[in-house]
Amino acid sequence: MTLAYVTVAGFILRAVWAFIDSPLREKKWARIAPHVIDTLLLAAGVTMVVSLSLSPFSGWLVAKFAGLFFYIGFGVLTMRAASTRLKVLGFAGALVSVSYIFAVAMSRQVWPF
């Protein structure tokens, strides 16, 4: 859960840097840290799936993977888009996607609303 909050906080920080074109985003640690955090998050997820004997194809986990797919895609758009408009679109899409992931994780429902 801590890693889930850290990944979102880190994403928001890097998005702000992308919007203001901060030189901080080019720092080596700033480029490596998200991969370390996200790898640990994925490893924690896989460990829980195995230790709780969950099926990776159970509905809510598949919904989480779908949310993750969109979170990554919109995240890449936020960091790489040439125009501010597309960056804003990516940022909004990523926040909606990760909010959905949180809602699914906490409710264990595909449609948690």
Contacts to ligand HEM by CB under 6 A? 1, 4, 7, 41-42, 45-46, 48-49, 52, 54, 64, 68, 71, 98, 101-102, 105-106
Closer CB to ligand HEM, 10 or 22, in the complex: 10
For 89-113, letters b (16+ CB in 10 Å) and e give ebbebbbebbebbbebbeeeeeeee
C-beta contacts of 42-46 below 8 A and 24+ residues apart: 44/3
For the bound state, the minimum distance from the C-beta of residue 98 to ligand HEM, rounded and expressed in Å, comes to 6
Closer CB to ligand HEM, 37 or 88, in the complex: 37
Q: Which residue is nearest to ligand HEM (CB)?
A: 45
For the bound state, the minimum distance from the C-beta of residue 77 to ligand HEM, rounded and expressed in Å, comes to 16
Please answer whether residues 71 and 38 qualify as being in contact, where contact means their C-beta atoms are separated by less than 8 angstroms.
no
